[in-house]
């Protein structure tokens, strides 16, 4: 099976399965769940197949640094959603993500994975403190439309195809920085904002921030191991570490409410 077929099969399966699983729990758990690298992981995998392990490893460091941009998105949307409707909150948050990418683009990152990781862990801890205080979310009977899951699968697959095709032109660092755009967390936040109000959107994004500890850990392991142990072993180690940290972040999230 070639890489295009894998992209067209693997990506929508991952996204569709994660969406269905997330609907069994509240918005915070859904945000935490979609923080796993359903799109970013396949992008690195396919880049390793098409561009080589060195390119994929450098891109993984870029993805790791891109978590800063995701944090900027989450904080911006969370605070603005209390004052603005969904379109305004979303536009400003996307703008902050893009600004963070532009600021990070000239920074040399390719051999700085561990330092970037430590900085991200500190930023995530601070960001959780800076989030609006939690308030109980009132559940409503509103349900997302039937086309939502197919739309997410289509958007995710298109994003993977676009970034992997454009990676040779963009280079590993810019490709990596653009990869963590919160497609699924942002979608969940938008639907929660529309159907349940701004506090539900904040709950989604707080869950996403908790999940980013595992996301960052996945990519620091990949960046360190891809060229040393190969594709299969590096992904196996990264998945193991990410799942262990994701379990710990879930315990912490539920403990803090």
Look at residue 98 and tell me whether its pLDDT is greater than 70: yes
3-class secondary structure, 10: helix
Encoded tokens for 241: 């570490």
The domain locations on the chain are 3-256
* Reported pTM: 0.83
| Cα→Cα distances 49→133, 173, 176, Å | 44, 17, 16
Encoded tokens for 18: 């994660």
Query: DSSP of 156-206, one letter per residue?
Result: HHHHHHHHHHHHHHH-HHHHHHHTT--HHHHHHHHHHHHHH-HHHHHHHHH
Q: How many residues does the chain have?
A: 257
Q: What pLDDT digit, counting tens, does each position of 7-46 carry?
A: 667 667 766 666 666 566 665 666 677 777 877 888 899 8
pLDDT of res. 167? 84
Q: What pLDDT digit, counting tens, does each position of 141-171 carry?
A: 456 667 767 876 787 778 778 877 888 888 8
Look at residue 136 and tell me whether its pLDDT is greater than 70: no
Find all residues with CB under 8 Å of 63, minimum gap 6, and list them: 37, 40, 43, 44, 176, 177, 179, 180, 219
Look at residue 109 and tell me whether its pLDDT is greater than 50: yes
Sign of CA dihedral 246, 247, 248, 252: positive
Q: What pLDDT digit, counting tens, does each position of 175-232 carry?
A: 999 988 887 778 778 877 887 788 888 988 998 898 899 999 999 999 999 999 999 9
Find all residues with CB under 8 Å of 94, minimum gap 6, and list them: 73
């Amino acid at each position: 099976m070639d890489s295009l077929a894998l992209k067209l099969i693997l990506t929508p399966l991952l996204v569709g399965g994660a969406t269905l699983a997330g609907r069994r729990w509240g918005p915070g758990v859904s945000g935490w769940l979609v923080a796993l690298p359903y799109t970013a992981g396949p992008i690195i995998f396919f880049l390793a197949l098409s561009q080589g392990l060195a390119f994929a490893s450098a891109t993984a460091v870029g993805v790791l640094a891109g978590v800063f941009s995701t944090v900027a998105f989450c904080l911006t949307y969370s605070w603005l959603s209390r004052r603005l409707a969904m379109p305004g909150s979303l536009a400003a948050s996307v703008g902050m993500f893009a600004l963070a990418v532009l600021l990070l683009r000239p920074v040399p990152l390719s051999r700085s994975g561990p330092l970037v990781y430590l900085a991200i862990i500190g930023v995530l801890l601070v960001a959780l403190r800076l989030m609006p205080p939690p308030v109980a979310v009132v559940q409503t009977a509103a349900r997302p439309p039937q086309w939502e899951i197919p739309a997410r699968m289509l958007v995710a697959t298109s994003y993977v195809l676009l970034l992997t095709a454009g990676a040779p032109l963009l280079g590993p660092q810019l490709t990596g920085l653009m990869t963590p755009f919160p497609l699924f967390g942002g979608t969940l936040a938008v639907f929660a904002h529309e159907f349940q109000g701004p506090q539900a959107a904040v709950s989604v994004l707080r869950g996403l921030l908790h999940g980013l500890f595992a996301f960052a850990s996945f990519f620091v392991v990949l960046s360190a191991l891809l060229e040393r142990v190969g594709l299969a072993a590096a992904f196996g180690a990264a998945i193991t570490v990410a799942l262990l940290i994701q379990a710990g972040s879930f315990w912490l999230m539920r403990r803090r409410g």
